[in-house]
Structure 1
Amino acid sequence: MTAGAATGGGLSRLRRVPAALSVLTICCVAVLAGALAWRAAIADIDARLQQSLILSLRALETEIDRFRYLPKVTGEDARIRDAILNPESPAVIDAANRYLQRVTGLAGASHLYLMDAAGQTLAASNWDTGESFVGNNYSFRPYFREAIETGAGGFYAIGVTTGTPGYFLAARIDLAQGKQGVVVVKVVLDPLEEAWRAAGQANAVADVDGIVFLSGEPAWRYQPLETLSPEAVARLTSQRTYFGAEVRVDEPLLHGAQGWIFDGAGARLRTQSAPFGPDWRMISAAPVLPAVFAALGWGAGAALCWGLGIGLAKIQRQRRQLVALRLRQSELLERKVEERTRMLAREIEARRQTEAELRAAQESLIHTEKMAALGRMSAAIVHEVSQPLAAMEATLAAAELSLERTPERTGPRIETARNLIRRMQRTIKHLKSFSRKESGTLDEIDPVQVAENALELVQPRARAVGVVPDLTVEGAPMRVKAGRVRLEQVLLNLLLNALDAVEGLPRREVRLSVATHGAEVHLSVEDTGTGIAPEDLPRVTEPFFSTKTNSEGLGLGLAISQAILSEFGGRFEVHSVPGEGTRMTAILPLIQEARA
């Protein structure tokens, strides 16, 4: 009995050893499978976080880049420069206010305003609201100091006037007179937050001090990533960065060495971060609870399926292939994003170069069209000069013959020759003035005088056509802000078109009128030609479009005229009735002193 019992106990122990080993092996496999699943899930979360970071960074960069060059471009406008030079002039400031208001509406920005070198706001897009920036001093803002020192600045803060947060982009404007100004655009980034919140993305952007100012999680806003130092708190207070907001300096978001973040419900989140520019940091977070569930599920599945080793191996192999595929897709996406970034950089540089070339081409086209207009009048001008020369030669010959016989008739003949010389001198003077290139500055000029000069220039062509243009002036003395030669070019183009329209017709009439209508000056040229077809009216200001079949022009006259009037703050209108004639009107704003 004793020997049998001993033998049975040994067999029982031998049976328990494989069972315990199996249980231990199953536990080890479950633990190993759970650990592998955890790592794979975390890797998948990290890959998705990296994708989210890339897309969010590009979205933030795109939103800011839409307005990055707006302050510099706005500062090139004559109205802004006049406001810097003449801050005491109400008319100049009013023009700058309205220009900023219009640009803000067209660009879709939040606010656009102009400051002088001391930080005092001279003009703003919200000048007519209760939250106007005009008169406020923002020299304490870092973007103003950076713009004055380096030429450009950027800073995210809550507006001390409006209480609305936004990103401020500033550019310094340097004038030849030694004066400086700063143009600032405020960009509201709240649509990004709304997009993140709608997509369920726990994204956040932190400033140089680690304070979150944009986030898809409302509870994170104005909360530091780490505990702020007293120096950082003092700097935020002096700059009034988050004016009116409660910054919880003692409640950092990041916990532990690995930088865990917890959401509003207390769930742990996995985070990835990337720098944005020199000062900002983009953070993307996702919950790790799916990774925990994945680890538990894989462990239980591995334990239950241990006996099916081949099936388990196949599942694991497919899982690894899927993870590898996702990793390759992430790498491919990163390469595409990098390639697109390089292409965008090249495109931006190309656009800058193209803009410079377009400006040079526009100036060249204006001068070319001016020379083309002179070419169109060349035959009439030659006749205008040759006719006085022939008459002067005959007059001087008659004076020479009568010098001894009838001295009393010599004086009038010499005076006649002198008048002919003066006539040629006037023609040549107008041609020299018209053909020179203008500097591009705008002056206060008399539009009536410009109209008279244009009529003087076109007289040879008018006589060749058989027309005596009329000039009618209505209204008190008037002044407009424009370039004298360029405005003269506009009127010359309109007069030449009118003369071409009536040439060869039984009824040939051309009328030029200068009149005030409210706050505007209308310079109209009317003819009795055949008119313009209704389907051609919308295209008359298109470059290279012309209704004349045998014209020596380039088809650019009206297009360039419209561009010149737009530069003066004016516009161009065309009214035509087929069979009756055409009226083309250049409209310019009156200067306020002239209206008064």
Structure 2
Amino acid sequence: MAAGLAVLGCCLAGWLTWRQSLAQSLDDTVRRGDNVLQLATTALEGALDRFERLPPLIAEQTIVTRLAADPTNPALVAETNAYLRRIQRLLGATDIYVMNRDGLTIAASNFDTDTSFIGGNFAFRPYFYDALRGESGQFYALGTTSGKRGYYFGAPVRVAGQTAGVLAFKIDLDAIESTWAAGDYAVLVTDPEGVTFLSSRPQWRFAAMRPLDETAKANIAATRRYAGTPIGLLNITDEGQHRGSPVLRIADAQGVREYLQRDMKMERAGWVVHVLINTAAARATALTLAFVAMLAFGVLAMVGAVLWQRRLRLDERLQVQAEARADLERRVEERTHELRQAQADLVQAGKMAALGQMSAALSHEFNQPLAAARTYADNAGVLMDRGRMLEARGNIDRILSLIDRLASISRHLRSFARAPGQKLTHVTLAEVVEAAVEIAALRIRAADATLTVVLSPDLPQVVAGPVRLQQVLVNILTNAADAVEGLSERQITLTAEAAAGDVLIRIADSGTGVPEGLATRIFDPFFSTKGVGKGLGLGLSISYNIIKDFGGDLSVSSGPGACFVLRLRAAPVPLKEAAE
């Protein structure tokens, strides 16, 4: 059974490789075809561009206009014939000739040859009647007189503002066609009816790729485009596609071959340029790679069988190792959970310690409004007994204001004391600063210090946790209050500004600063410069880790006073808001 599966896998690998390699080789063929197509189209466009502006210039020459005005003057005819021959040889044109309004040729550069156009009537050609209407005439056809292929330009000859005749300018595209002969590809150019008139394969000339309808046959007959030459049909035996490109099997005298077809339109002339590239090389490459893949799969199957035998012997050992690793991972996970819980408890303990240090100030902040409220209430009762209701109402409003003040302090303390969430959000810095200042103001007033807050008006939101960021600001502000307490100058400054995709928060005090030897240890756990019983030495360590969790940074500098700098990431601006 294993041998059968190996054979099946080998065949499947070969088939998949052949299919993928063939698709890749055909993609390369498409790109090569596009390059050839671009070169062929550019060559044709260049040939037409080279001569397109010449017929109108020649038609404006005095000798041509004089002949159009006096077509029966033998001297003018002879002089014009000589001029046209000279211009034809100079410019490299095939033929140049002048026709009157009836399409009769009255002068030509080939006037003295056996295939002279003089006396021939070409009124049936589109380039003639287009030019007669004052437009630029262009047409590709097989010459009815010379039997040679050529591209014709027609330009009106004007005398006294009226079209008196048409100058025709014929060029030969055989030189361009000859450059397409080499290679494993064929270049074809078809006219608006779908008939091939230029081809690197001579046997495909004057043949259509699809059967012609009656309208196309009538147009060919009316313009005598191919001068009665029978129009054949390419023998396409089968058709397919590769990523939108036709794949044709064409039979000719050399046998049946498969071609990948790429097309490009030439809008100005109404032509379509086709490049047909033989797919034999692509298929041979794909088949070779398929055999290589099958051979490689066979070798790998043999190697796999040997390794499988060895693997069986290692299974028991690997199972024991897996069980041991799973047990280790479980214990590491349990220990990690315990450490995270301990860290959370430590953070909460630090907050409670900060609240404990502010307990005296909190007592004062609550007792003072309560005593004032009691006094206003007693006075309101007396005023109401005396009928002085308006003054009593004023006392009640003051009591309500004091109650609101107490509620605000309580709300901020409750928010500060609760356990924070770990999820980071976009935080408005002004709101967090306001709440932190509300809590720290108790300690700042107790230290008789002055706090100045300056926030830039265009601050972006920051990436943080609002409760944890509030805790950091309270820790640093209370430390600043401790640092300036008892000094003659007691100033604390909090500023915030945007800086290169971040937001910088600076908290500076007018204290004695941080000694240089202690600056590197100030963020260590349980390190404190305060006296015994005045702190756990956890505030700055907790603050440092919180800011690092936010993806920011906390640093300190000294002189004079201490300055703590918090660097936080600015929250990205939503696309809609940025566009506005």
Q: TM-score, normalised by structure 1?
A: 0.47
Higher helix share: 1
Higher strand share: 2
**Structure whose CA Rg is larger:** 2
